[in-house]
Amino acid sequence: MSKPDLTLDKLTLIRTLGSGRMGTVKLYKETDPSFPNAPPIFTAVKSIPRSSVTSQAQSTRIMREKATLLALSHPNLISLYATSKDDSHLYFLLSPVLGGPLHKHFRDSLNGKFAVNRVKMYTAEIASALMTMHANNFVHRDIKASNVLISAAGNCVLADFGYSKLLPADNRQTFTFCGTLHAMSPEIATKSPSGHSFATDWWSLGVLVYECLVGAPPFGYGDDREDFLKKLEQQTDGDDGVTYDPAVFDGVGRSAKELIQVHKCAGPCTSGSKGATSGSKGAMSGPKGARAARKALFAIKTRCSFVHTVVYVLGQRCMSMVCLPLVHTAASCL
C-alpha cells in the first residue's frame, strides 16, 4: 500500500481516537481545495508533548517506535506515513485504525469474551504480524489487548512499538525490564540473567488468546510484580506446566478447550545457555526452572487447513516453535 503524501498543516481535526501515557491519537482528514469533490485522505496523528519526554528511556522509546515503523510493512501492522515536530510536540502520522482496541471489543461481547472462531482469526493475524517483525529481527515486547486495534474491516492491527527493539544478528538476547505485567513473559518478569528474545512475544500472544476466550488473563491483572511472580509460580508447578481451572471454560465449549492446551515439551528448550528463566521456587531460576521450561509449552491450535501455532512458554529462550505456512490473511482460514 502506498503512503499518502501528508503534511500536518494541511490536516483538519475530526475527533480524538484515544490517549495514553506518551500522548494522544487524533483522527484528521486532508482535502485538496483544487479537487473539492475528491474523497478526503484520513490519517491518525499521535502527538507527544515534548514536556512529557523527561528521561533518556522515554526518548529511546520514541526513537525505537519510529525506527520499527519505518522498517516494517504488513497489513496487520500499523503504518507510519510521516513524522513531524514543532516547539511543543512530536508527531507520528499513522494509518487510521478506527475500530478501537481489542480489549474493548471482548469486554462488550456476550459474557465478556469472544467466540472461538473469532479468536482463531485474530490469533492468525497477530501471529502473521509477529512473524514479519521477527523475520526482520524486531521483537515487540508489549503484546496485549490494548495494543491490538481493530480496523473498519474487522481485522487486527498491531500498534504501539515503544518497547520494540532491533536484535542484532550476533546477539539475539536483550535484558531490559519492560512490557505490561499481566502479559509479561517469565524471562522478563524474573529479570532472567539469560535475558529474553523473540519467544517473549509468543508467550504474550498465548496470554492474549487465553484472555480473549476467558475474559481475563491466566495470571490476573495488576501491577504488583511480587504478586504476579507468586501466581506464575503457583500455576507453573508440576509436570504439566501451565495450569488453569477448567471451569473458566464453562459455557464456552469444547472447541475453546482445544484451542488452548498444555502439553509436555518433547525436547529441551535451550539456546546454548543452561541458566533457567522460570518455574522454580523463589526467583524461579536455576535447574528446577530449566526442567519446568523443558516440560511446558502452550499450544494455540487454529483448526484450518494451514495454520498451526505451537508456542513455548515458561521462558524458553530458543526460537519459538511456530509453523504458520502461507498465512497472509486470516480471512483465508475461515
**What are the φ and ψ backbone dihedral angles of 85, each rounded to 5 degrees?**
-160, 155
Query: Mean pLDDT, to the nearest integer, of 98-122?
Result: 89
pLDDT score for 250: 64
Distance, CA of 169 to CA of 248 (rounded, Å): 41
Buried b (16+ CB within 10 A) or exposed e, 52-88: ebeeeeeeebbebbbebbeebebbbbbbbbbbeeeee
Angle at 93 between CA 89 and CA 94, to 5 degrees: 135
Distance, CA of 233 to CA of 219 (rounded, Å): 10
**What are the φ and ψ backbone dihedral angles of 167, each rounded to 5 degrees?**
-95, 120
pLDDT score for 98: 93
Question: Cα Rg for the chain, rounded, in angstroms?
Answer: 20
Cell triple for 184: 509479561
Domain boundaries of the chain, sorted by first residue:
8-94, 102-333
Q: How many residues does the chain have?
A: 334
Contacts of 52 (CB under 8 A, 6+ apart): 22, 23, 58
pLDDT score for 178: 93
Count of C-beta atoms within a 10 Å radius of residue 191: 15
The better pLDDT of the pair 294, 238 is held by 238
Q: Give the side-chain half-sphere CA count within 13 A for 49.
A: 8
What pLDDT, in 10s, does the model give residues 252-309? 556 666 666 543 332 223 332 333 233 323 333 334 443 443 333 343 333 332 233 3
What pLDDT, in 10s, does the model give residues 65-94? 999 999 999 999 999 999 999 999 999 999
Locate cell 504458520: which residue? Answer: 324
Ordered DSSP codes for 118-171: HHHHHHHHHHHHHHHHHHTTEE-----GGGEEE-TTS-EEE---TT-EEPPTT-
| 237 part of the active site | no
Pick the CATH number of 8-94 from 1.10.10.10, 2.115.10.20, 3.30.200.20, 3.40.50.300: 3.30.200.20
Is residue 136 very low, low, confident or very high in pLDDT (cuts 50, 70, 90)?
Answer: very high
* Residue 191 in this model has a pLDDT that exceeds 70: yes
Domain 8-94 matches domain 102-333 at the CATH topology level: no
Topology of domain 102-333, CATH: Transferase(Phosphotransferase); domain 1 (1.10.510)
> Which of 280, 298, 303 lies closest to 290, judged by CA?
280
Among 5, 9, 87, 142, the one annotated catalytic: 142
Query: Mean pLDDT, to the nearest integer, of 133-159?
Result: 95
Range with the largest mean pLDDT of 8-22, 150-164, 247-261: 150-164
Q: What is the pTM of this model?
A: 0.76
